[in-house]
């Protein structure tokens, strides 16, 4: 069988055993369950097998083959902590069928999409979301500005951001990646591809591809991360179906802004940082691509937001349900003490990732007496 032949070739070439995730195989290719079960019993080194396309007739496989070749080429030369590693690849042609495979490093926590929108996964904490935003931004910045030839990703979305065992993000699926414009050119003219809801409107209208097309997609995902909503949800009321239209109803500097935050966070977030991230997302979503920031600037801004004085996180937790006219001092001493304890617990969790002056400030806060 073609699949078994591919597996044997990959195993022989790499000198390692391959770990196969049967659920992923089920999503990618139509294979009998017994075969999937037998593959899943193979030795569990930390690699994951991806089948890039179904077994298809050779006459209609050219598009899938181009994407497979593109991914092999790009992942074969790029190296960055926030890009998935390509361990190996294999392609076997038969008389009537072709099978292409890629072997990635194993990403234990699946994708950002699974954790943001899946009911079977625990809620991502605010701190983890910030870390994912920064890591994904650094991966894109590397593609745009860290190589001799600019690479435009073209398909940045939550499902393509994979998470390792420590929830470090890594970009995957480079089948649609393209080289950026050559010197003297402002864009690449190409057929419009990507995912609806993430592609930049100027790219859709003109077919002119630039690195700012990726910046738009990043802005969409920033809003997905803070709201816990998909870019498009047909099952919601019409005003709420398109995420970017819905968030406009809650301006960043208004008192209503907190209403867009993911309710699963249970108000455990910094409203100040959330506002700053929304402003950054809005700049990424500027109508004119010339007004969007470069990804290196996005990285710098995210670092500033994350490294803001630590007391902001403790003092600045906001509940969308609190009335604007509600008195500030409505709790008795007992309630204040409980609030202080919860705040300190939140600060302690944040303190695991801070150093220097911010770390010393955290220690001072923790030693302070309960008000």
How far is Cα 319 from Cα 101, in angstroms, rounded to an integer?
48
Structure tokens at 301: 């801004």
Residues carrying an active site annotation: 155
How far is Cα 364 from Cα 362, in angstroms, rounded to an integer?
5
How far is Cα 223 from Cα 281, in angstroms, rounded to an integer?
7
How far is Cα 170 from Cα 115, in angstroms, rounded to an integer?
14
What contacts 22, CB < 8 A, 6 or more positions away? 36, 37, 39, 40
Structure tokens at 302: 């995210």
Least Cα distance to 96 among 63, 60, 125 occurs for 60
3-state secondary structure of 212: helix
Long-range CB contacts (< 8 A, 24+ apart) of 339-343?
A: 340/370, 340/371, 341/370, 343/314, 343/315, 343/317
Phi, psi of 88 (to 5 degrees): -175, 175
How far is Cα 133 from Cα 298, in angstroms, rounded to an integer?
10
3-state secondary structure of 237: coil
3-state secondary structure of 100: strand
Structure tokens at 334: 């007992």
């Amino acid at each position: 069988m073609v699949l078994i032949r591919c597996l044997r070739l990959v195993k022989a070439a790499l000198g390692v055993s391959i770990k196969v995730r049967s659920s992923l195989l089920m999503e990618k290719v139509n294979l009998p369950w017994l075969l999937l079960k037998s593959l899943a019993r193979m030795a569990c080194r930390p690699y994951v097998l991806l089948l890039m396309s179904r077994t298809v007739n050779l006459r209609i496989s050219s598009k899938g083959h181009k994407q497979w070749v593109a991914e092999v080429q790009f992942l074969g030369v790029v190296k960055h902590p926030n890009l998935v590693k390509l361990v190996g690849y294999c392609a076997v042609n038969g008389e009537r069928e072709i099978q292409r495979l890629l072997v990635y490093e194993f990403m234990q926590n699946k994708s950002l999409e699974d954790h943001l929108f899946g009911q079977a996964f625990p809620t991502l904490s605010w701190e983890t979301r910030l870390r994912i935003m920064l890591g994904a931004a650094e991966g894109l910045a590397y593609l745009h500005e860290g190589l001799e030839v600019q690479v435009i990703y073209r398909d940045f979305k939550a499902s393509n951001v994979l998470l390792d065992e420590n929830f470090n993000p890594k970009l995957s699926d480079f089948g649609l990646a393209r080289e950026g414009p050559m010197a003297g050119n402002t864009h690449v003219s190409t057929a419009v591809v990507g995912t609806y809801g993430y592609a930049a409107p100027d790219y859709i209208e003109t077919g002119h591809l630039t690195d700012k097309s990726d910046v738009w997609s990043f802005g969409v995902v920033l809003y997905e991360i803070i709201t816990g909503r998909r870019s498009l949800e047909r099952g919601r009321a019409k005003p709420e179906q398109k995420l970017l239209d819905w968030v406009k109803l809650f301006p960043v500097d208004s008192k209503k802004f907190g209403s867009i935050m993911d309710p699963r966070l249970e108000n455990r977030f910094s409203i100040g940082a959330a506002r700053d991230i929304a402003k950054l997302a809005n700049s990424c979503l500027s109508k004119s691509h010339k007004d969007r920031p470069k990804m290196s600037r996005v990285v710098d801004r995210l670092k500033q937001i994350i490294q803001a004085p630590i007391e902001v996180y403790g003092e600045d937790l906001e509940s969308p349900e609190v009335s604007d006219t509600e008195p500030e001092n409505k709790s008795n001493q007992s309630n204040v003490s409980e609030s202080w304890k919860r705040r300190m617990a939140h600060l302690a969790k944040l303190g695991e990732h801070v150093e220097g002056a911010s770390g010393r400030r955290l220690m001072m806060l923790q030693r302070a007496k309960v008000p």
